[in-house]
């Protein structure tokens, strides 16, 4: 490498979100926008209620609009800061990926969901969800099309652009891949606020982060995220006798199911590792 190459490397600007301190600031910005938009949404719902529009569907629609608006404002802020810092170097990768990857990702994600059932149940036993939190969760995840759109479409697209397209992209330029992926997963878990969602979000974030590192595209993460939320929605929205059917399997059959899920997830990860050979070198 000659002196010109060294000079070019030195002047390349660092991303706006390249370390933990910058992510802490971004976290509070996102929470601030969520609170402000949430209050505005509550005021709008009150006005609609006084006008006689108190349908649960209307309430769910307002929540969807408020969520999208809050995330879009957060994204606009993060993108503006990134462009100020990096200029023409900043970009969010929506690169295409091989078609065979999509069924593999979906299979791995569903398997990961079943693998996570045991530790998630342990967390619930360790930290029982308060009645108030249960009521809030039930109100937030209602059984209607707007809730499904929020969980399966809006959240995967917007959160992946933020958490992987901006945050993890920046971290990968300052940290070794494993460290960058863990930090981004912590950030992803933190924006879910409550521990009952943050715990599985962290482990889901590790998987999504690794796939982003391998593919350098936010598209696979959106697929994984949508699959996770769709699987959770299926358990929430299906009749209780269906969603509780796992409890009636018995320990031996449940262990077999868990081992099968772990095997499917492991085989999928091995396939991705072997077939997607390109992974960028760490810049540190």
pLDDT value for 234: 82
For the record, the structure tokens of 278 come out as: 């390109």
DSSP 8-state code for residue 191: T
Of 154, 164, 176, 9, nearest in space to 95 by CA:
164
Examine the pLDDT at 267 and tell me if it is beyond 60.
yes
pLDDT value for 143: 77
Q: How far apart are CA 283 and CA 266, in angstroms?
A: 28
Q: Helices 195-215 and 219-237, interaxial angle, to 10°?
A: 150
For the record, the structure tokens of 61 come out as: 């629609």
**47-82 residue pLDDT tens:** 988 888 888 888 899 999 999 999 999 999 999 999
Q: How many residues does the chain have?
A: 284
Segment 25-32 shows an average pLDDT of 96
Q: How far apart are CA 153 and CA 225, in angstroms?
A: 9
Of 216, 237, 219, nearest in space to 151 by CA:
237
Examine the pLDDT at 26 and tell me if it is beyond 50.
yes
pLDDT value for 117: 77
pLDDT value for 278: 59
Contact 154, 64 (CB under 8 A): yes
Sign, CA dihedral 93-202-233-71, equals negative
Q: Taking the CB of residue 121, how many other CB atoms lie within 10 A of it?
A: 12
pLDDT value for 212: 96
pLDDT value for 249: 61
H helix count then E strand count, the chain: 13, 0
Q: How far apart are CA 277 and CA 62, in angstroms?
A: 44
pLDDT value for 200: 87
Examine the pLDDT at 244 and tell me if it is beyond 70.
no
Q: What value does the mean pLDDT of the chain take?
A: 85
pLDDT value for 1: 46
Contact 184, 163 (CB under 8 A): yes
For the record, the structure tokens of 218 come out as: 């936010």
pTM: 0.87
Segment 98-113 shows an average pLDDT of 95
Q: How far apart are CA 213 and CA 178, in angstroms?
A: 10
Torsion of CA 70, 72, 75, 81, to 10 degrees: -90
Examine the pLDDT at 250 and tell me if it is beyond 70.
no
Range with the largest mean pLDDT of 60-69, 109-118, 274-283: 60-69
Segment 100-122 shows an average pLDDT of 87
**167-223 residue pLDDT tens:** 999 999 999 999 999 999 999 999 988 887 888 899 999 999 999 999 999 999 999
pLDDT value for 6: 46
Segment 15-39 shows an average pLDDT of 93
Of 141, 94, 166, 168, nearest in space to 236 by CA:
141
Q: Helices 195-215 and 177-190, interaxial angle, to 10°?
A: 140
pLDDT value for 32: 96
Q: Collect contacts of 103-106 with beta carbons under 8 A, ≥24 apart.
A: 104/268, 104/271, 104/272, 105/211, 105/220, 105/223, 105/224, 105/227, 105/268, 106/223, 106/227
Residue spans of alpha helices (H) in 51-141: 56-86, 101-126, 131-140
Domain segments of the chain as ranges: 3-275
* 206 vs 122: which has the higher pLDDT: 206
């Amino acid at each position: 490498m000659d002196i010109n190459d060294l000079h070019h490397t030195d002047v390349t600007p660092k991303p706006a979100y390249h370390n933990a301190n910058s992510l802490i600031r971004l976290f509070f910005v996102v929470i601030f926008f969520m609170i402000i938009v949430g209050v505005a949404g509550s005021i709008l719902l009150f006005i609609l209620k006084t006008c006689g529009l108190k349908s649960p569907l209307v309430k769910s629609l307002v929540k969807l609009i408020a969520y999208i608006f809050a995330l879009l404002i957060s994204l606009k802020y993060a993108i503006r800061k990134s462009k100020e810092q990096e200029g023409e170097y900043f970009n969010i990768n929506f690169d295409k990926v091989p078609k065979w990857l999509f069924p593999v990702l979906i299979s791995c994600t569903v398997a990961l969901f079943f693998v996570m059932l045991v530790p998630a149940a342990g967390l619930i036993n360790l930290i029982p969800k308060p009645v108030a939190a249960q009521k809030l969760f039930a109100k937030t995840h209602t059984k209607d099309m707007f809730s499904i759109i929020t969980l399966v479409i809006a959240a995967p697209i917007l959160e992946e652009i933020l958490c992987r397209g901006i945050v993890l992209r920046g971290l990968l330029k300052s940290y070794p891949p494993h460290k960058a992926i863990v930090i981004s997963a912590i950030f992803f878990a933190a924006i879910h606020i409550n521990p009952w969602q943050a715990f599985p979000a962290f482990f889901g974030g590790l998987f999504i982060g690794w796939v982003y590192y391998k593919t350098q595209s936010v598209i696979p993460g959106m697929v994984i995220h949508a699959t996770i939320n769709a699987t959770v929605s299926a358990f929430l929205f299906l009749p209780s006798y269906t969603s509780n059917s796992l409890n009636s399997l018995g320990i031996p059959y449940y262990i077999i199911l868990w081992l099968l899920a772990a095997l499917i997830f492991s085989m999928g990860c091995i396939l991705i590792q072997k077939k997607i050979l390109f992974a960028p070198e760490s810049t540190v």
